[in-house]
Amino acid sequence: MAASKKAGVVLKTVKKIIVQFCPFESNVRSTREFLTMVGSERVRSTNMNCEVITQVKHDRSEPTIDVTFVDGERLLMKGSNLTTKEILSALQSRCIAKDPQAKAGDKK
């Protein structure tokens, strides 16, 4: 269990992540850091079928992270008022809730 804590987010239950932001806005840091983390080889290796799509816009739009899970449920997070840790924590807790093996591992 300690190894899974170090690995961070496990994308086993995630089908697609769309990260959208305007790079010229001042409130995109946490969204860009999140994108870097989910794009890392370690996190991507937890689900090679998970699409990570980046949409860079120059329209002063709010940074958003749209996560689609394999069961069809969606999680939309607005990154302008969230820290990277809050975004990762929200995604990780939802992934754990959807993964029956992770729940069984926590009970042991």
Picking from 1, 13, 59, 11, the residue whose alpha carbon sits closest to that of residue 34 is 11
SS3 26: coil
44: pLDDT strictly greater than 50: yes
39: pLDDT strictly greater than 50: yes
pLDDT of residue 45: 94
Picking from 31, 35, 21, the residue whose alpha carbon sits closest to that of residue 82 is 31
pLDDT of residue 20: 97
What amino acid is encoded at 98 in this protein? K
**The pairing of beta strand 14-21 with beta strand 64-69:** antiparallel
Could you give the angle at the alpha carbon of 47 between the alpha carbons of 37 and 33, nearest 5°?
Answer: 10
Q: Rounded to whole angstroms, how far apart are CA atoms 42 and 5?
A: 13
73: pLDDT strictly greater than 60: yes
For the chain, domains (ranges, CATH) are 10-99 (3.40.30.10)
For 21, counting Cβ atoms within 10 Å of its Cβ (0-12 exposed, 13-18 middle, 19+ buried), the class is buried
pLDDT of residue 49: 95
Q: What is the pLDDT of residues 26-38, one digit of tens each?
A: 999 999 999 999 9
Q: State the pLDDT confidence band at 2, using cuts at 50, 70 and 90.
A: very low
pLDDT (mean) for 77-105: 87
50: pLDDT strictly greater than 70: yes
